[in-house]
Structure 1
Amino acid sequence: MVGATVEDHRRRILAGVEPLGRSDTVPLGEALGRVLAADVVATLSVPPFDHAAMDGFAVRAAEVAAPPVELPVAGVVAAGDDAPPLPRGAALRIMTGAPVPPGADLVVPFEWTSGTDPVRVLRTADAGRHVRCEGEDVRAGESALAAGTLLGPAQLGLLTSVGAASVAVRPRVRLAVVSTGAELVEGQVPDSNSPTLLAAGRAAGADAVAYGPAPDDPAGFRAQLTAAVEAADVVVTTGGISAGDHDVVKAALADEDGFWFGPVAMKPGRPQGCGALAAADGRRVPVVTLPGTPIAAYAGFLLYVVPLLHALAGSPWRPVTAPLAAPVPAGDRTVLLPGVLDDDGRIRPLPGHAGHSQRLLAAADALLVVPPTGRLVPAGTPVEVLASVGSPVGSPV
């Protein structure tokens, strides 16, 4: 195998990366997809008071311990009512969510009764049945969610219930994309890498801005790169890292301490590079250099930059896998193939020339990561899949 492995290069890029130190405070309505920067302590208990878990009759368990028992109905308690005390030897008709009356310790579901007045209780249970007690889920003063939690719909619901109106979250990572190539600057070829990678970065939760295309001369490229470093938390470049006469990225950065350029055993996307540059405020800004071919740039972004964005944001990331729908040949390097999902959730490579076809990529649900086993990978084998938000296979984002 020639070159570093995909796993080696991913580890190289992530080595020593720590979450950004700053935080933002945002209202809950703007917190979806963000990561908590601090524990959230409940100011309200969940539930906030003892309430009925079912429609039925609130009673004293001791008074209905030997059914059948007939009790007069002393009133009705609905959700939002103030519950009156339960008279001895009586029942109160109660609705789901209504406060349990003082003196009651059991809610007998309608199905266990005659439903009439007086009510005939035909079946009973121990005290506490069908009653949700104050604070049984979360008590005021407890930690409701820990720092590092990714906020989805369920987490936002819990935060609302415990009384949080706003939360401290880790910042959105600032991503800069610098594409290179004289053909892009002169308008001979549209710069498709910038919108593709900006969209992939935003799908990963980053604030993404383009600083390019940059010209094919080291001074002009370095000026745009410097502007990107000053404004961003991570910089991605595309193109200019092979062995040609105009590989401006490699020429401009090869002598920088800590930068690495070389082959990675993957197809497409063999030339790769990474390092870090110092900003004027002392920050060390990671720089990931990707090939210029659109599919190779996109594959490298999903393989390497998405995990880096998560590491900087302090949010969890793990590879997404799906079983192969059919056998796939493998060689001595990792191969990335556009694929589609079958109805059973298995992923199947699309036929065609995958290494350069943007049309094929646009028709795909994801990129399959075929491991370098050197032999046929059987159907049913789980393989890593790379996809942006919106793909039916989900996303490592």
Structure 2
Amino acid sequence: MSCVSCATLTPGLLDLEDARQRLLATARPLPPSEPCPLDAALGRVLAAPISARLAIPSADNSAMDGYALRVADLVSPPDGLPIIQRIPAGCAPAPLAEGGCARIFTGAPIPPGANCVVPQERCRIDDQGRVHVQGEALVGANIRRRGEESLEGTPLLPAGQRLDAPALALLANQGIVEVEVFARLKVALVSTGDELVEPGMPLAPGQLYNSNRVMLSALLQQQDCAVIDLGIVADTAAALRETLSQARDRADVVICTGGVSAGEEDHVRPVLAELGELLFHGVAMKPGKPFAFGRLHGAEGDVLLLGLPGNPVAALVTWQVLGQAFVQACQGRHPRPLQQFFVKAGFSRRATHGRRELLRVVLDHAELEPMARLAGGQGSAMLGAACQADGYLMVPGDTPVMEGNDYAFLPVAQFAI
């Protein structure tokens, strides 16, 4: 599980895009590969490219229900063509004799000699059962040609492709029943904080429930990771040292929440420096400033660590814009750039000093152009707005939001892939 060296610790705060690029530059596909039955491959990541074994379609076939004919047999004035064959899908047709036509159905092979399919809606059957074509019939019309989608040897899916339902159908269409995929990435999840208790336990004064564990475990499972939940760690350097050592020995990647700021009870950075090295800390974004990234040295290689803030919205945002792409790269996938487009703000707001702010907003489609409106309270512990938001209005640091002006919008739907 070796990784290339990252740049040295940068003084001050990193720009969001810079932090993202550093993460991706460090990531390497970590898990070994293994065979997987196609029926169990949903969400898995291809470890090797796949090429077509068969031509698709395997033969010229009809694109619709209608009549297969030879265009030259249509004469003027029309006297109609007798139906001399009926060709459903899955049969092997006989050659089409001159002067006749074939009743044909979608997907059925084109009979030798036919060079056109006329949709049934443009055909009339007279009392003698002869077919009369309305309008022009063109050679090649409504025929799917052999190999139109792929020929033998055509590249189908690259290594790093995550297998979704259409990809599985594409492979099944080739008769493929097993694929080579990366093993599931093992991610150790560590929650730090004496104030945390698990849902269902009684709360003492000053305590709160550990929502980050539930949220991040779900997000990692959405990415088809194998989650190793190491529970809540007490706010002591010794306890964190012991837990991170266990995480290093059991996982491919470690994610911890909380303890990444600069307070006396924030032990992640000093313990990380002791067990490995801190690669960078601090991103010029709100929420999410304390994000940290480093590596834990181990006898079998280094294990990379993402330190997410403890506030749940900050943990969510940093996972979405930073952590998810890194984990995908470690899975062997090819993370997409952040997708964004400009929308108008339907509110005004004071500037945030020195940091890019990601405001949770909903899109109002009442007008011709979508208008971004605040989804609710913007505190980094307020999950309600995050549940309602369509995305993030990304406002540069030291820039006030002015109602009616355009700002970059990041849809949250992109993080569901």
The answer, yes or no, to whether TM exceeds 0.5 is: yes
Partner residue in 2 for 1:395: 415
Taking a change above 3 Å as real, the CA distance of residues 378 and 371 of structure 1, as seen in their structure-2 partners, is farther
Does structure 2 conserve the Cα–Cα contact (< 8 Å) formed by 1:337 and 1:354? no
Partner residue in 2 for 1:27: 37
Partner residue in 1 for 2:259: 240
Does structure 1 conserve the Cα–Cα contact (< 8 Å) formed by 2:277 and 2:296? no
2:309 pairs with one of 274, 291, 294? 291
Partner residue in 1 for 2:5: none
Partner residue in 2 for 1:46: 56
Partner residue in 2 for 1:381: 406
Q: Counterparts of 1:259 and 1:88 in 2: how far apart (Å)?
A: 80
Give a deviation string over 1:113-133, Cα, whole Å, max 9, x none.
Answer: 332422234544343222212
Q: Counterparts of 1:178 and 1:193 in 2: how far apart (Å)?
A: 10
Partner residue in 2 for 1:148: 160
2:241 pairs with one of 222, 235, 244? 222
Does structure 1 conserve the Cα–Cα contact (< 8 Å) formed by 2:43 and 2:223? no
Partner residue in 2 for 1:354: 379
**Percent identical:** 36
Does structure 2 conserve the Cα–Cα contact (< 8 Å) formed by 1:81 and 1:98? yes
Q: Counterparts of 1:51 and 1:165 in 2: how far apart (Å)?
A: 25
Residues 1-397 of structure 1 mapped to structure 2, 5 A cutoff: 3-20=13-30, 22-64=32-74, 66=76, 68-116=78-126, 117-184=129-196, 188-256=207-275, 258-260=277-279, 262-282=281-301, 284-313=302-331, 314-321=333-340, 323-329=343-349, 330-331=351-352, 332-343=354-365, 345-376=370-401, 379=404, 381-385=406-410, 387=412, 393-395=413-415, 397=417
Give a deviation string over 1:4-60, Cα, whole Å, max 9, x none.
Answer: 322333233333222235223323333333333222122222112222222222222
Does structure 1 conserve the Cα–Cα contact (< 8 Å) formed by 2:269 and 2:278? no
Give a deviation string over 1:279-338, Cα, whole Å, max 9, x none.
Answer: 3322x2211112222222222222221111121122332213352442454332122333
Q: Counterparts of 2:268 and 2:326 in 1: how far apart (Å)?
A: 20
Superposition RMSD on alpha carbons, in Å?
A: 2.8
Q: Counterparts of 1:52 and 1:185 in 2: how far apart (Å)?
A: 64
Does structure 1 conserve the Cα–Cα contact (< 8 Å) formed by 2:281 and 2:293? no
Q: Counterparts of 1:213 and 1:170 in 2: how far apart (Å)?
A: 30
Structure 2 letter corresponding to 1:335: E
Q: Counterparts of 2:408 and 2:42 in 1: how far apart (Å)?
A: 29
Q: Counterparts of 2:416 and 2:404 in 1: how far apart (Å)?
A: 22
Q: Counterparts of 1:191 and 1:112 in 2: how far apart (Å)?
A: 66
Taking a change above 3 Å as real, the CA distance of residues 84 and 259 of structure 1, as seen in their structure-2 partners, is same
Q: Counterparts of 2:187 and 2:377 in 1: how far apart (Å)?
A: 33
Give a deviation string over 1:101-160, Cα, whole Å, max 9, x none.
Answer: 222222233344332422234544343222212222112332222323343333222222
Does structure 2 conserve the Cα–Cα contact (< 8 Å) formed by 1:45 and 1:135? yes
TM-score (normalised: structure 2): 0.83
Local SS of the residue matching 2:394: strand
Q: Counterparts of 2:106 and 2:255 in 1: how far apart (Å)?
A: 55
Taking a change above 3 Å as real, the CA distance of residues 249 and 60 of structure 1, as seen in their structure-2 partners, is same
Q: Counterparts of 1:271 and 1:175 in 2: how far apart (Å)?
A: 21
Local SS of the residue matching 1:15: helix
Partner residue in 2 for 1:390: none
- The alignment of Structure 1 onto Structure 2 pairs a total of residues equal to 391
Deviation at 1:213, TM superposition (A): 0.8
Give a deviation string over 1:335-361, Cα, whole Å, max 9, x none.
Answer: 233322323654322343523323443
Structure 2 letter corresponding to 1:15: A
Structure 1 letter corresponding to 2:239: G
Structure 2 residue runs without a partner (length 5+): 1-10
Does structure 2 conserve the Cα–Cα contact (< 8 Å) formed by 1:42 and 1:164? no
Q: Counterparts of 1:261 and 1:190 in 2: how far apart (Å)?
A: 29
Does structure 1 conserve the Cα–Cα contact (< 8 Å) formed by 2:340 and 2:410? yes
Runs (4 or more) in structure 1 with deviation over 6 Å come to: none
Local SS of the residue matching 2:35: strand
Local SS of the residue matching 2:324: helix
Does structure 1 conserve the Cα–Cα contact (< 8 Å) formed by 2:345 and 2:401? no
Question: Which piece of structure 1 moves more, 155-164 or 357-366?
Answer: 357-366
Does structure 2 conserve the Cα–Cα contact (< 8 Å) formed by 1:324 and 1:348? no
Structure 1 residue runs without a partner (length 5+): 388-392
Structure 2 letter corresponding to 1:82: A
Q: Counterparts of 1:79 and 1:262 in 2: how far apart (Å)?
A: 62
TM-score (normalised: structure 1): 0.87
